[in-house]
């Protein structure tokens, strides 16, 4: 489903990603952890071409991304309908209702008929537990509700891969559970997901694999039992040690 080969990226003189290679198969849920500034967000953004990279290659959901090319318009469009993204700050469109937020992309990108898009939006809202809030504006929702709408919006494009960048970090602790529940549900449904997170139980209970990213590289890659319980690298030991405290 995803294949990353010798990916390198620098911002000016500072190397942000150094020689990252990884494979993800369909249905996996990868928890990406690591110290701040390690390059987690950057890696995620390279996977759906929000950022470009300098060398290497990414093949994701059947689309091949090459260095520096933002990619031709058609490639990008194909890529982004197949790879959804959920942001730490939700980034819902404040001028649109919940339903319009969800139906916008299907309607204008894939020319789905409005009625069909609306029906699908209601299904997805039902799935994230917000069936009755379809006509609310984002500002009328709590943070947890907004993030669930953002997930429904990403799902509306019927993606093969979902990327999450710290989906619960902007939320109060009591709202994290509702978002985690949706992610858990998606994992159970076989969605392929990469989730940058600081939530321990996502790494231990939901993820099929955990990547520890540090200084631009994947320092450790393996099942939770191995990476979280018996980390080999110093950075992973430090990181999980700190979280347990």
Ligand X SMILES: Nc1ncnc2c1ncn2[C@@H]1O[C@H](COP(=O)(O)OP(=O)(O)OP(=O)(O)O)[C@@H](O)[C@H]1O
Of residues 33-52, those binding other proteins (CB under 8 A): 48, 50
When binding is defined by CB under 8 A, the residue of 154, 171, 179, 183 that contacts other proteins is 154
Instruction: Compare residues 80 and 209 and give the one whose CB is closer to other proteins.
Output: 80
- 2: part of which helix (H) or strand (E)? strand 2-11
- The answer to the question of residue 192 lying near Mg ion (CB under 5 A) is no
When binding is defined by CB under 5 A, the residue of 41, 103, 146, 157 that contacts Mg ion is 41
- The answer to the question of residue 71 lying near other proteins (CB under 8 A) is no
CB of 103 to other proteins, least distance (A): 11
Q: Which stretch binds Mg ion (CB under 5 A): 10-18, 20-28, 36-44, 105-113?
A: 36-44
CB of 172 to ligand X, least distance (A): 19
Of residues 20-59, those binding ligand X (CB under 6 A): 36-42
- The answer to the question of residue 195 lying near other proteins (CB under 8 A) is no
Residue matched to tokens 């290679």: 21
174-178 contacts at long range (C-beta below 8 A, 24 or more positions apart): 175/142, 175/143, 175/144, 175/147, 176/144, 178/129, 178/144, 178/145, 178/148
- Strand pairing category for 161-165 and 2-11: unpaired
What distances in angstroms separate CA 228 from CA 32, 39, 177, one per listed residue?
Answer: 12, 20, 21
Residues forming the site for ligand X (CB under 6 A): 11, 14, 16, 36-42
């Amino acid at each position: 489903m995803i294949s990353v080969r010798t990916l390198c990226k620098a911002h000016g003189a500072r190397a942000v990603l150094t020689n990252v290679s990884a494979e993800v198969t369909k249905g996996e849920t990868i928890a990406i952890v690591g110290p701040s500034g390690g390059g987690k967000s950057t890696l995620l953004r390279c996977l759906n071409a929000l950022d470009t990279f300098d060398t290497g290659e990414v093949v994701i959901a059947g689309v091949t991304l090459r260095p520096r090319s933002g990619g031709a318009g058609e490639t990008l469009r194909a890529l982004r309908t197949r790879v959804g993204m959920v942001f730490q700050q939700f980034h819902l469109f404040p001028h649109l209702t919940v339903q319009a937020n969800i139906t916008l992309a299907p309607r204008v990108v894939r020319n789905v008929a409005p009625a069909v898009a609306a029906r699908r939006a209601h299904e997805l809202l039902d799935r994230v537990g917000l069936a009755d809030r379809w006509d609310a504006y984002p500002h009328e929702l709590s943070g947890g509700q907004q993030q669930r709408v953002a997930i429904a919006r990403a799902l509306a494009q019927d993606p093969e891969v979902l990327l999450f960048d710290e989906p619960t970090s902007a939320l109060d602790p009591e709202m994290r559970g509702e978002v985690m529940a949706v992610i858990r549900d998606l994992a159970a449904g076989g969605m392929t997901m990469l989730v940058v997170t600081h939530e321990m139980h996502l790494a231990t209970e939901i993820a099929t694999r955990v990547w520890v990213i540090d200084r631009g590289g994947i320092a450790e890659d393996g099942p939770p039992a191995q990476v979280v319980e018996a980390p080999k690298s110093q950075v992973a030991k430090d990181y999980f040690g700190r979280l347990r405290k």
